């Protein structure tokens, strides 16, 4: 009898929290429906287009060479690959049956129309701070895109991460309403409306922290280290706070130029930041300036920046000497041209000492740019920087990176340079596919 | 000074190791197929192959090529006996002024080594940074497709 009672208590102790969790995790499916005519008024769609550009929706929801917003791009995370979904208004495979209420719930709470929890690769932790009016405009824009029939690819996540109710637990632990001065928290009386607009964009819509804030082991942004630098798709996302290693301070005007295209004092974007800058082409200049105004205040006053470094590298050691010869033959024709601002080659700073990537804690960004170059946006002419992945071997890439670091940074050599080159560079370069070598012979 | 292996022959090169390969090819070895267009890696007229991959010879210091096989357009055939890819360019009349063509051929050759039967999208992607000011792009595409459509031996016959 007594034993049975203990068992009952034990059972309750296990089952009640489970039931509680179940209740917390459960979200109802919402009725299918579409936008009413007023919800897709042209003015709404136009506003939504600008907001969608500033939310960089396309950079995840459009696959390489794919139809706009039809999804399918794989987002690499430390836990596995998550495939962006089709957000065109296709009724079967996209958002065609989503009402504004369903869209709003997805944006704010990360729950789809059917009631499933969405992985936080979709930055609803930031979008939770969006105003109702902006979500309505984004809904208008989304629901008036060309519908594309494209089934979402299944995520490549291991169990138990593949079990979506787990996300509800993650949300309980980590989701807090974003603090946006003037929107979700009191306005800052010392700051002007432009700064407040920038704060709203950066914290909510443009979700800068999703890359530039470090994440904990469960993949949540660490709020106490906001903007202290993070990761994006295998790239180092530099800090935007006062720990930024940029050689020169980022002024508001520098940032506005960088975010719009390119800045002569710091250079231009590469890697996952490139589509962000490309998206800004359709955004009014005052929005970019607002974003720049806010981000410039994150790093505080100029302080003790060392300025660009360009120093002599001891040439009696073989590795730097080899690196110097590669630099002279491969890089100098552009990067010693005096800088674009002084009439030199476009997109070059006056020296590579201006580039933050050479001050980075690890060489990934430099190596990825050397390997793959920096491609222009689609249909724009010429590479911004040509790729050297086929030109240089692993050893040569290592020599060049060591030389650039020694010459253009006050910091010591990268400790993990060899290992990083091995991880990022195929060596020897891929030859023709197996079976072809046998046919190789003199030219016909 | 560096040794350089081009089209199967090894040369002792007089140039300094930082000299771009393009100048060595044209000025020392008399191989004038690869062209100087911009000298900044923007136009692709100087494209050659290094170990089967397309590189820009104007930005390739000759010192990095020690022990690595270079192939230029001269290595694919001669005016009397053009190689299959070159023959496809001739058949499609793909050259107008011809300045970009050696680069186009070499970029396409490297593509066909890696992807013997590329889609049109793959061809366009591979050639997207090779410029042609005459505008014969459609014929260049046709030539690459013609070469890719022929037997696979077409593109494999090269060391």
Work out the mean pLDDT of chain B and round it to a whole number. Answer: 93
In this structure, chain B runs to a length of: 159
Contacts of B58 (CB under 8 A, 6+ apart): A333, B20, B21, B22, B36, B37, B38, B39, B40, B41, B46
Interface test with A, best of B22, B41, B105 (most A CBs within 10 A): B41
Considering the entire predicted model, what is its pTM?
Answer: 0.91
A222 lies within 8 A of chain B by CB: no
Q: Are B41 and B88 part of one and the same domain?
A: no
Beta bridge partners of A221: A215
* d(C-alpha B76, C-alpha B68), whole Å: 17
* d(C-alpha B34, C-alpha B46), whole Å: 5
* d(C-alpha B73, C-alpha A262), whole Å: 37
- Under an 8 A CB cutoff, do A430 and B121 touch? no
Q: What is the pLDDT of residues A130-165, one digit of tens each?
A: 999 999 999 999 999 999 999 989 999 999 999 999
Q: Are B97 and B141 part of one and the same domain?
A: yes
Residue A77 has pLDDT above 70, yes or no: yes
* d(C-alpha B78, C-alpha B32), whole Å: 13
Average pLDDT of span A80-90: 97
In the structure, how many helices (H) and strands (E) does chain B have? 6, 5
Assign a CATH topology to domain A318-424: Cytochrome Bc1 Complex; Chain D, domain 2 (1.10.760)
Least confident among A1-5, A104-108, A370-374, B87-91: A1-5
If one compares B49 and A64, the residue with the highest pLDDT of the two is: B49
Interface test with A, best of B25, B44, B61, B151 (most A CBs within 10 A): B61
| CA distances (Å), origin A19, targets A110, A174, A387, B30 | 21, 21, 56, 81
Least confident among A52-61, A77-86, A90-99, A301-310: A301-310
Residue A433 has pLDDT above 60, yes or no: no
- Under an 8 A CB cutoff, do B61 and A383 touch? no
Nearest CA in chain A to B71: A443
A388 lies within 8 A of chain B by CB: yes
Range of the domain at B151: 76-156
Count of beta carbons in the 10 Å neighbourhood of residue A419: 12
- Chain A residues whose CB is inside 8 A of the B113 CB are 432, 436
Q: Where are the beta strands (DSSP E) in A60-166?
A: 74-77, 80-83
Q: What is the pLDDT of residue B75?
A: 98
Give the distance between the most distant pair of CA atoms in chain A. 94
Nearest CA-CA distance, residue B149 and chain A, Å: 17
If one compares A24 and A332, the residue with the highest pLDDT of the two is: A332
- Nearest of A288, A129, A103, A133 to residue A209 by alpha carbon: A129
Q: Are B57 and B10 part of one and the same domain?
A: yes
Q: Are B39 and B89 part of one and the same domain?
A: no
Residue A430 has pLDDT above 60, yes or no: no
Q: Domains in chain B: how many in total?
A: 2
A382 lies within 8 A of chain B by CB: yes
Q: What is the pLDDT of residues A207-253, one digit of tens each?
A: 999 999 999 999 999 999 999 999 999 999 999 999 999 999 999 99
Using DSSP's 3-state secondary structure scheme, residue A189 falls into: coil
Q: Are B62 and B13 part of one and the same domain?
A: yes
Residue A62 has pLDDT above 60, yes or no: yes
Average pLDDT of span A118-126: 97
Quote the radius of gyration of chain B (alpha carbons, Å). 15
Listed in sequence order, the DSSP H helices in A342-416 are: 364-372, 394-408
Q: Is it true that the peptide bond before A37 is cis, omega within 30 degrees of 0?
A: no
Residues of B with CB under 8 A from a CB of A: 7-8, 16-20, 39-43, 50-56, 58-64, 68, 75-77, 81, 83-84, 113-114, 116, 121, 129, 131, 153, 156-159
Of B40, B50, B61, the CB nearest to A328: B61
Pick the CATH number of A193-298 from 1.10.760, 3.30.1490, 1.10.3470, 1.10.10: 1.10.760
If one compares A280 and B149, the residue with the highest pLDDT of the two is: A280
Q: Do the domains spanning A193-298 and A318-424 agree at the CATH topology level?
A: yes
**With bands split at pLDDT 50, 70 and 90, how would you rate the model's confidence at A25?**
confident
- Chain A residues whose CB is inside 8 A of the B42 CB are 381-383, 386
Q: Are B119 and B96 part of one and the same domain?
A: yes
* d(C-alpha B109, C-alpha A137), whole Å: 49
Of A329, A441, A443, the CB nearest to B20: A329
Count of pairs with CB atoms under 8 A, one residue in A, one in B: 106
Estimate to the nearest angstrom the gap between the alpha carbon of A178 and the chain centroid.
Answer: 19
CATH code of residue B89: 1.10.150.120
**With bands split at pLDDT 50, 70 and 90, how would you rate the model's confidence at A323?**
very high
- Chain B residues whose CB is inside 8 A of the A393 CB are 64, 68
Nearest CA-CA distance, residue A347 and chain B, Å: 12
Q: Are B118 and B139 part of one and the same domain?
A: yes
Q: What is the pLDDT of residues B127-143, one digit of tens each?
A: 999 999 999 999 999 99
Q: Are B150 and B97 part of one and the same domain?
A: yes
Using DSSP's 3-state secondary structure scheme, residue A199 falls into: helix
| CA distances (Å), origin A250, targets A287, A335, A355 | 18, 21, 12
Q: In what order do the strands lie in the sheet with B47-50?
A: B9-12, B3-6, B69-71, B47-50, B53-56
* d(C-alpha A387, C-alpha A20), whole Å: 55
Tell the residue number behind the tokens 């990268």, with chain if given. A414
- Nearest of A52, A69, A58, A50 to residue A275 by alpha carbon: A58
**With bands split at pLDDT 50, 70 and 90, how would you rate the model's confidence at A382?**
confident
- Under an 8 A CB cutoff, do A390 and B63 touch? no
Average pLDDT of span A258-281: 96
The β-bridge relationship of strands B3-6 and B69-71 is parallel
Q: Are B67 and B9 part of one and the same domain?
A: yes
* C-beta separation of A307 from A246 below 8 A: no
A267 backbone φψ class: left, alpha, beta (φ>0; ψ -120 to 50) = left
Q: What is the pLDDT of residue B158?
A: 42
Examine the fold and report which residue of B28, B45, B74 is the final residue of a domain before the chain moves on: B74
- Under an 8 A CB cutoff, do A345 and B40 touch? yes
Q: What is the pLDDT of residue A209?
A: 97
Q: Are B92 and B53 part of one and the same domain?
A: no
Beta bridge partners of A117: A111
Average pLDDT of span B90-119: 97
**With bands split at pLDDT 50, 70 and 90, how would you rate the model's confidence at A428?**
low
- Under an 8 A CB cutoff, do A329 and B159 touch? no
Examine the fold and report which residue of B58, B74, B90 is the final residue of a domain before the chain moves on: B74
Q: What is the pLDDT of residue A305?
A: 76
Q: What is the pLDDT of residues B33-89, one digit of tens each?
A: 999 999 999 999 999 999 999 999 999 999 999 999 999 999 999 999 999 999 999
Using DSSP's 3-state secondary structure scheme, residue A117 falls into: strand
Interface test with A, best of B64, B110, B137 (most A CBs within 10 A): B64
Residue ranges covered by each domain of chain A? 24-174, 193-298, 318-424
What is the dihedral angle through the alpha carbons of A38, A41, A43, A49, rounded to the nearest 10 degrees? 110
Residue B152 has pLDDT above 90, yes or no: no
DSSP letters along A146-185, please? PP---PPPPPB--TTTT-THHHHHHHHHH------BTTTB
Work out the mean pLDDT of chain A and round it to a whole number. Answer: 91
Tell the residue number behind the tokens 């709020």, with chain if given. A223
Tell the residue number behind the tokens 């359709």, with chain if given. A282
| CA distances (Å), origin A373, targets A73, A224, A422, B41 | 21, 35, 18, 11
A379 lies within 8 A of chain B by CB: no
Residue A121 has pLDDT above 90, yes or no: yes
Q: What is the pLDDT of residue A427?
A: 55
Contacts of A127 (CB under 8 A, 6+ apart): A55, A107, A108, A135, A204, A205, A207
CATH code of residue B60: 3.10.20.30
Of A390, A440, A443, the CB nearest to B53: A390
Q: What is the pLDDT of residue A256?
A: 98
Question: In this structure, what token pair is assigned to residue B112?
Answer: 């066909």
A115 backbone φψ class: left, alpha, beta (φ>0; ψ -120 to 50) = left
* C-beta separation of A30 from A105 below 8 A: yes
Using DSSP's 3-state secondary structure scheme, residue A261 falls into: coil
Q: What is the pLDDT of residue A432?
A: 44
Q: Are B85 and B152 part of one and the same domain?
A: yes
Examine the fold and report which residue of B48, B74, B100 is the final residue of a domain before the chain moves on: B74
* d(C-alpha B57, C-alpha B39), whole Å: 9
Interface predicted TM-score (ipTM) of this complex, two decimals? 0.92
A326 lies within 8 A of chain B by CB: yes
Average pLDDT of span A289-310: 87
Q: Are B106 and B119 part of one and the same domain?
A: yes
Residue A321 has pLDDT above 80, yes or no: yes
């Amino acid at each position: 009898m007594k034993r049975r009672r203990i068992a009952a208590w034990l059972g309750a102790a296990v089952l009640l929290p489970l039931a509680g969790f179940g209740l917390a995790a459960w979200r109802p499916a919402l009725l299918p429906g579409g936008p009413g005519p007023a919800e897709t008024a042209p003015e709404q769609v136009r506003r939504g287009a600008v907001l969608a550009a500033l939310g960089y929706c396309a950079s995840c929801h459009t696959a390489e060479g794919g139809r706009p917003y039809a999804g399918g791009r794989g987002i690499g995370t430390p836990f596995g690959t998550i495939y962006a979904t089709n957000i065109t208004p296709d009724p079967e495979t996209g958002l065609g049956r989503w009402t504004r209420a369903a869209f709003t719930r997805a944006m704010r709470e990360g729950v789809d129309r059917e009631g499933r929890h969405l992985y936080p690769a979709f930055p609803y932790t930031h979008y939770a701070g969006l105003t109702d009016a902006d979500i309505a405009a984004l809904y208008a824009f989304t629901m008036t895109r060309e519908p594309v029939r494209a089934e979402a690819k299944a995520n490549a996540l291991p169990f138990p991460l593949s079990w979506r109710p787990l996300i509800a637990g993650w949300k309980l632990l980590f989701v807090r309403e974003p603090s946006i001065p003037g929107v979700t928290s009191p306005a800052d009386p010392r700051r002007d409306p432009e700064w407040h607009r920038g704060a709203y964009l950066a914290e909510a819509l443009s979700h800068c922290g999703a890359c530039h804030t470090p994440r904990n082991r469960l993949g949540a942004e660490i709020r106490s280290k906001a903007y202290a630098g993070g990761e994006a798709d295998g790239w180092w996302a530099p800090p935007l706070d006062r720990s930024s290693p940029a050689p020169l301070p980022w002024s508001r005007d520098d940032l506005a130029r960088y975010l719009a295209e390119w800045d002569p004092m710091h250079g231009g974007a590469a890697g996952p930041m490139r589509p962000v800058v490309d998206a800004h082409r359709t955004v009014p200049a005052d929005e970019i300036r607002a974003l720049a105004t806010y981000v410039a205040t994150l790093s505080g006053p100029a302080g003790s920046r060392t300025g660009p470094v360009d120093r002599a590298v001891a040439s009696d050691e073989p590795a730097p000497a080899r690196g110097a010869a590669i630099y002279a033959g491969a890089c100098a024709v552009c990067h010693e041209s005096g800088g674009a601002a002084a009439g030199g080659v476009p997109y070059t700073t006056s020296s590579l000492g201006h580039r933050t990537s050479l001050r980075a804690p690890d060489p990934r960004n430099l190596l990825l740019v050397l390997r793959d170059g920096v491609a222009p946006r689609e249909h724009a002419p010429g590479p911004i920087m040509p790729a050297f992945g086929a030109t240089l071997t692993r050893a040569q890439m290592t020599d060049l990176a060591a030389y650039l670091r020694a010459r253009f940074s006050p910091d010591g050599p990268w400790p993990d340079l060899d290992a990083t080159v091995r991880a990022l560079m195929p060596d020897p370069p891929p030859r023709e596919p197996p079976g072809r070598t046998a046919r190789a012979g003199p030219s016909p | 000074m560096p040794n350089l292996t081009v089209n199967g022959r090894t040369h002792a090169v007089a140039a300094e190791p930082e000299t771009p390969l393009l100048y060595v090819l044209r000025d020392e070895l008399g191989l004038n197929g690869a062209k100087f267009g911009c000298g900044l890696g923007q136009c692709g007229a100087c494209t050659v192959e290094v170990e089967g991959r397309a590189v820009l010879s104007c930005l390739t210091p000759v010192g990095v090529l020690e022990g690595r096989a270079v192939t230029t357009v001269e290595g694919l055939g001669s005016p009397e006996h053009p190689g299959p890819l070159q023959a496809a360019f001739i058949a499609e009349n793909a050259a107008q002024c011809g300045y970009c063509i050696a680069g186009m051929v070499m970029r396409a050759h490297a593509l066909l080594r890696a992807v013997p039967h590329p889609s049109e999208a793959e061809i366009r992607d591979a050639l997207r940074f090779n410029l042609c000011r005459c505008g014969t792009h459609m014929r260049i595409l046709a030539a690459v497709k013609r070469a890719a459509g022929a037997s696979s031996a077409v593109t494999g016959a090269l060391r």
